[in-house]
Structure 1
Amino acid sequence: MDWWKKNMSRAVVKKERLARGQRRGEMFLKELIQCCDGKTNPIKFFSADQILKATERYFCKCNILERSQNVCECSRISELVFQGKWYSGTLDSRRMIIVKKMLGRSPNPPRDICSGPPKDIAISSMVSGHKNFMKLVGCCLEFEYPVLVYYGKEKQYSPIDLKVVVSWRRRMKIAEEVATALAYLHNAFPRPFVYRNMGFKNILLDEDGVAKLIDLSYCVSIPKGETFVKLTWAGRDYDYMDDNYLFNKVVSEKTDAFGFGIFMQKLLTGEERFDELCGWKNWRGKNKVPKWLSKSMGEGRMDEIIDPNMLKKMDEVSEEERCLMEVFLNLSERCIGLRGEVPNMVQVAKELKRSRKTASSSSGETRI
């Protein structure tokens, strides 16, 4: 009798998973058609059993371990706990994969806010071949929270920690790679995609230090013939949001340029120093946010605004490095609209690449 009940329970669970996967599959196809203009992208749909087998069933067991020990002993990349939870596994006993379990998504979000997993999967499949995005294999829609499957290696990816990434040249490299990823979203497709989700939490570094932009669920496309789109809801990452986006809910390519400009300033100053310099702590969480005023960050006081973690590793800031930092800061202020016309992300990526080449050639290095 117990055996019969156990098998019936398994059958019910499997039936529910299949029904859930079918419903979400329909949502995904609609999103794919809208995002990709009907073009197909190679993507594999995994069953729940395949995911459990690939992760040696730890995918489900991890939650119990984490609650009791605050450490996921079975997951090899348990430090990646933001924007969902991440697990390593092996596909067909050969290829290493990374499984991302998406958490905290509303099942029925407003269409222009965040379409959640369907949009993330659809756009990830479009950008998967670019070096600054993760290589998507497929997805599984049968679990309560959908999962995305990427190619990878154990311990390959890590979040950006400015206490670890202390080299100025490494930070310049990260900035260039993130700018390149945003430029790709803006220009590689018939309609530009605006990322509007900038932040350290959405960038991973692989074992070679290459930056990867993740979580594409907040992307919105600009209609053909238009330069912006108006939404019904802006978001809550105030420090990365320009006034037009925050107050008027207007999204354009300049939305990403602004967010990237703030990201650049945080790379230069460190997040804590950035908060102090901009007075962010004084009005965080308030409904009315003042315009950004970062002109005082430069003006010959570079030693005062550099991230202390980075400064500790530099015996002294050379005149050449100081000039590169000034150029970096100037470009960030152009991105946030404080110095003339806001550049597009292609221009930003080119200027950052040029600065990195200058730094590399002057030091006699071929790679930073």
Structure 2
Amino acid sequence: MGWWRKKKPQPNFERGAMLLEDLIGCCDGKSNPIKFFSADQIRESTDNFSESNHVFELSNGYYNWYSGKNENHLMLLIRKTVDKFYAYIDRNFCRDVAISSMVSGHKNSMKLIGCCLEFESPVMVYNGVKKHYKLEIREEPWKRRIKIAEDIDIALAYLHNVFPRPFVYRIMSLEKILLDEDGVAKLSDFAFCVSIPKGETFVKVDKVEGKRCYMDYEYVRNGVVSEETDVFAIGMLMQTLLTGKKVLSEGDGDGDGNGDTVGDGDDDSMYVIPNWQSKFMKERSKMDEIADPMMGEISEEKLYQMKALQALSQRCIRLRGKVPTMVEVAKELKKIQRSRLFFSFSLGDSGLKMQSEFAEYIS
């Protein structure tokens, strides 16, 4: 770790000290190997951030992505914070590097190689062997959507269960999910992860971060972060995957002024739910009023799977039964995908076997 003691510009030194602190704090003193690139190395690998290296299909308002290479890596994927947002991102950049280094070996997380501390705007360097794409939900077929939900749930379950203290992701949004060329969904941007102290089930944060439409009410109202914060978010993600529509948003109905409201009446915790989403939250609503028409005709097999996903989402957002853990959600998602195997054997039995498989969801 002698790299951070070298004499460098003060902002870089401060970042190095912060990163060392986060690496020790997050990893309990057992930091993972991270390569620290110089600014010259990054410029050379990206042809000085040339337009030809700019990966437009991944870039968004906060980050620009570039392809690159060097003598040790034939394919790199480099994420550079957009200059005007560097002050906002910078305070959490070190946490992103620390957590990313811990999860980069997991198949549903982006594989971190290293970072560069010398630019004013933070830079992170990932393995770019496989091509990555933004998640465009409405372009994905039904079976792929369930698998995406499972992939992201497994990434969150990994954060919750593998380390000495659980980590909560807390900033779910579609922009945080990338797909590789094999269709595997990967979670990125761990800047706002928080750890839950040993022996505790939650932690309170001073500042509520993230897209409000994915936040549970305890987090919005009181800054309380627990594993259920992520379970709520995955439940809302399931809604989007099933409907193809934006989930509930603050002060925004469906355009006709007829949205329902949820919350306790406090302006800081009130949501307006569009009419389509009110239907989603009702157990007996018709699937053809909910499901994204881009997924095509709803077969009987698909209908049961959709109802199962709807019910699981309702459990995750505290509308139906006990809130599951992230591991339990993963098991249920796997069962929903396997159900098509049961379906093929149930046709001659009036669908009784399929009905039995999903009794817990659609009863």
Q: Give the TM interval when normalised to the shorter protein.
A: 0.7 to 0.9
2:37 to 33, 46, 56: 46
Contact 2:170–2:210 (8 Å) recurs in 1: no
TM-fit CA distance, 1:274: 6.7
Aligned runs of 1:179-190 on 2, under 5 Å?
A: 179-190=153-164
Amino acid at match of 2:288: D
Partner residue in 1 for 2:113: 137
Which residue number in structure 2 is paired with residue 35 of structure 1? 26
Match of 1:253 among 220, 227, 230: 227
Q: 1:138 to 1:106 in 2, by over 3 A?
A: closer
The answer on whether the counterparts of 2:171 and 2:210 sit within 8 Å (CA) in structure 1 is: no
State the match for 1:279 in structure 2: 253
Q: CA RMSD in A?
A: 2.7
Instruction: Give the corresponding residue for 1:357.
Output: 338
1:288 and 1:228, CA in 2 relative to 1: closer, same or farther beyond 3 A? closer
Tell me, yes or no, if the aligned pair for 2:236 and 2:247 is still in contact at 8 Å.
no
The residue number in structure 1 matching 2:58 is 80
Q: What displacement does 1:288 show?
A: 4.5
1:237-287 C-alpha deviation (Å, 9 max, x unpaired): 121111111011111000001111001001000125877xx9366689x74
Question: In structure 2, do the counterparts of structure 1 residues 319 and 274 end up closer, same or farther at CA, with 3 Å as the change threshold?
Answer: farther
Q: Which runs of 5+ in 1 are unaligned?
A: 1-14, 63-72
Larger mean CA deviation between 342-351 and 88-97 belongs to 88-97
Contact 1:21 1:140 in 2 (8 A): no
Q: Is the 8 A contact 1:95 1:151 kept in 2?
A: no
Equivalent residue for 2:294? 309
Q: Deviations over 1:149-205 (max 9, x none)?
A: 001147x1111112322x100000000000000000000100000000111010000
Among 347, 351, 359, which residue is 2:328 paired with? Answer: 347
Change over 3 Å in CA distance of 1:194–1:22 after alignment to 2: same
Gaps (5+ residues) in structure 2?
1-5, 262-266, 346-363
Please list, as runs of the form range in 1=range in 2, the aligned pairs for 1:1-368 lying within 5 A after superposition. Answer: 18-57=9-48, 59=49, 62=50, 73-82=51-60, 83-92=62-71, 94-103=73-82, 105=85, 107=87, 115-153=91-129, 156-165=131-140, 167-235=141-209, 237-272=211-246, 279=253, 287-290=268-271, 296-297=279-280, 298-310=283-295, 314=296, 316-359=297-340, 362=343
The answer as to whether partners of 2:86 and 2:121 remain within 8 angstroms in 1 is no
TM-score (norm 2): 0.82
Tell me what 2:361 maps to: none
C-alpha contact 2:138 2:294 (8 A) present in aligned 1 = yes
Q: Deviations over 1:10-37 (max 9, x none)?
A: xxxxx99654332211110001111111
- Kindly provide the amino acid, as one letter, of the partner of residue 307 in structure 2: E
Compared CA separation, residues 259 and 220, structure 1 to 2 (3 A): same
One-letter amino acid matched to 2:37: F
Q: State how far apart, in whole Å, the 2-side matches of 1:254 and 1:139 are.
A: 31
8 Å Cα contact 1:42/1:125 also seen in 2:
yes
The answer (yes or no) to whether the contact 2:150–2:334 under 8 Å persists in 1 is yes
How many residues in Structure 1 have an aligned counterpart in Structure 2? 324
Q: How far has the Cα of 1:291 moved from its partner? A: 8.1
Partners of 1:223 and 1:199 lie apart in 2 by 25
Hey, what's the Cα distance between the residues in 2 that align with 1:224 and 1:355? 34
SS in 2 for 1:85: strand
Q: 1:273 to 1:183 in 2, by over 3 A?
A: closer
> For the structure 1 residues 289 and 186, does the alpha-carbon distance in structure 2 shift closer, same or farther, using more than 3 Å as the test?
same
What residue number does 1:6 align with? none
- Residue by residue, what CA displacement relative to the aligned partner does 1:289-314 show, whole Å, maximum 9, x if unpaired? 1487956325140011111222xxx2
Shift of 1:121: 0.2
Matched position secondary structure for 1:142:
coil
Q: How far 1:350 sits from its partner (Å)?
A: 1.0
1:129–1:288 distance in 2 versus 1, CA, 3 Å: closer
Structure ranking higher on relative contact order (CA contacts 8 Å, 6+ apart): 1
Q: 3-state SS of the aligned residue for 2:209?
A: coil
Q: Do 1:54 and 1:92's aligned partners in 2 also have CA atoms closer than 8 Å?
A: no
